[in-house]
Amino acid sequence: MVAIMPEQTQAKALAFLSRTNQKNTQADISKTIQEAMAVYALDASCCLQILILIQQRLGYIPPEANRILTQSLMLPESHIKGLISFYVFLKYQPLGKFRLFLGDNITDRMLGNQDVATKLCQQLKVSERTPRSDGRVFIGFSSCTGLGDQGPSMLINGFAISRLTDERIAQIVALIEQDVALANWPEALFSIDTNIHQADHILSAQPFTGQALAQLSKQPAEEIMQELQSSKLRGRGGAGFNTYRKWAICQQTTNKQRVVVCNADEGEPGTFKDRVLLQDHTDTLIEGMTLCARLINANHGFIYLRAEYLFLYQPLVETLARRRQQKLLGHNILGIEDFHFDIDIHLGAGAYVCGEESALIESLEGKRGIPRIRPPYPVTSGYQGLPTVVNNVETYIAASHIVLNGGDWFAEQGVANSAGTKLHSVSGDCKQPGIYELAFGNSIRDLLTHCGGEAAQAVQVGGASGTLVPAKDFDRALEFDDVPTGGSFMVFSKQRDIFDVIKNFAEFFRHESCGFCTPCRVGTSLSNDILGKIAHGQGTPHDIERLSRINDLSSSMSQCGLGQSAHNALNDALRHFPDCFNKRLQTKKHALALDFEQEIVRITLNEESH
């Protein structure tokens, strides 16, 4: 594993990732490419990070970058081009000095994102998805910005702006037309709220600055692992794998080098609870990763931060630097001579599939985020073939609390097979969207009561890949054995058309499929096309049947969770809300002009009879 000094790398990367605008003369372009490579010491495995720095500074990846990176990193040009074509925030062509991407999740649409786009286009005299002729501005869309509780929202040159009111729109337009550098825009525009409405064990605690790590000098590692086991902590990303078991398997591998990875690629539409934890509980997250490192004997870690959370990069760097000074990170942690662990931050570049742990590892290695065929699993063969623990932000933070307070303390909350509390990202048709921490086992109705969404006709639990629950089932429990969730909770009132929700999800999955396996690549595209046909009043009952067959094939034959779960909400809607499809059908009856299956049988029997 290549040893790069994280502190030095992060300090240099900050210069590229700041809110600056630079003139792209030929000299600037060549200098930027060379400086970006120098940040990562010409490490080919950091090729994606180098491209991200170039993109952020120049606004696109110029043709020279292909040639220079190919020669300097000794990579084939096809590898460089493959990365640029795979990640949506890497662009071959310059879009403009100010690049605006509006959130396009279903809740953003419900909050009026299209009206915002129209106003911006009219006031800036530009068409959607087309750079303005003077090269100053571009307006496009992003699947989900992670700001569903404070939309409509957008990214401008990668930095998030929430609550796009008419007043803010006018202010943004004036700043762009006056050509004010992004670094000089009012800080208030970039302020992101946490919107915590219900706090329990995790959110009510102060961030840890060594309290949990101090347990390492009070308890043997074996006892701490036993506390983790007795806590019954399961991964908070949605799949719910037992955390103790994952760490124990990695700990027991024969390889002496191991890696700790934090999955902060919170790309599931409607999910933003990890973003809030990264804003307010960064210390506790890093403490959890450091504890994991000590328990499994790892000395290198990564935080994989989604591109949409670029505004969190600098605070993360500053927290890491402070903890190194406090001897809570780096060499000889807590004065223990053999306790060495440090953390790199790697940015994503816009790929939902990288939330899947093996695709995330591929991206960490500087490749396209294509999910790996498993086994082997990351705990035995992950980053650069080393045993690797991958957990999300909420899981590491929960582990910190368990180490400090004990496994029984944690297991007291929740239910038998779903211990502890869970953070929910609530958005949509409710009085108080935001973050709610509730013990596992609470019902959907309980959470709706907390957020003021009692009048809902349905909720989508677990993001676009989760479960669409109708009002008659609101007494179902939010837990792994009933309605599991990674944290997204979208509320839909009776005024909403569920078909619009499903169509938005289908567009999302068609766009986000990595294209590696045919069932997902073709299945998501066909489903979106058929729903488009139905939306335009040209569908028939035969199309509904086709949707069901496509869903079954994609769910059973796709390689990774994206394809396997892409049709979950569609299946639920067909079962619980059939009228939202039927009312759009061109005809309620259909008869095929030729039934091919019956015709083949007839011809076969006829041939056999002769």
DSSP for 7-71, please give it: HHHHHHHHHHHSS------HHHHHHHHHHHHHHTTT-GGGHHHHHHHHHHHHSS--HHHHHHHHH
Contact 442, 448 (CB under 8 A): no
Residue 328 lies in a domain: yes
- Quickly count: other Cβ atoms within 10 Å of residue 331's Cβ: 12
**Whether residue 610 has pLDDT greater than 50:** no
Residues 424 and 478 reside in one and the same domain? yes
Structurally, how many domains does the chain consist of? 5
Of the candidates 530, 517, 593, which has an alpha carbon nearest to the alpha carbon of residue 558? 517
Place of tokens 């000395």: 299
H or E segment to which residue 389 belongs: strand 388-392
Encoded tokens for 289? 């990763």
Same domain, 278 and 357: yes
CA atoms of 497 and 531, how far apart (whole Å): 14
Is residue 105 very low, low, confident or very high in pLDDT (cuts 50, 70, 90)?
A: very high
Range of the domain at 577: 498-582
Residue 204 lies in a domain: yes
Same domain, 404 and 349: yes
User: pLDDT grade, residue 504 (50/70/90)?
Assistant: very high
Helix (H, G, I), strand (E, B) or coil at 383: helix
| Positive or negative: CA dihedral 338, 343, 344, 348 | positive
* CATH number, residue 255: 3.40.50.11540
pLDDT at 597 over 70: no
Task: Tell me how long the chain is.
Answer: 610
pTM: 0.94
Same domain, 295 and 424: no
Q: Is the pLDDT of residue 261 over 50?
A: yes
CB 227 within 8 A of CB 419: no
463 belongs to a structural domain: yes
Domain end point (choices 39, 65, 86): 86
Gap between the Cα atoms of 515 and 249, Å rounded = 32
Claim to verify: residue 523 and residue 554 sit in the same structural domain: yes
Domain at 439, CATH number: 3.10.20.600
Does 406 lie in the same domain as 261?
yes
Let me know whether 51 and 112 are in one domain.
Answer: no
Same domain, 303 and 351: yes
- pLDDT tens per residue, range 106-122: 999 999 999 999 999 99
Is 70 exceeded by the pLDDT of residue 371? yes
Do 397 and 309 share a structural domain?
yes
For the chain, percent of residues with pLDDT exceeding 70: 95
432, 449: one domain = yes
> Which of 184, 217, 238 represents a domain boundary (last residue)?
184
Which of 157, 184, 211 is where one domain is finished?
184
Residue 2 pLDDT: 40
Instruction: Write down the pLDDT at residue 230.
Output: 98
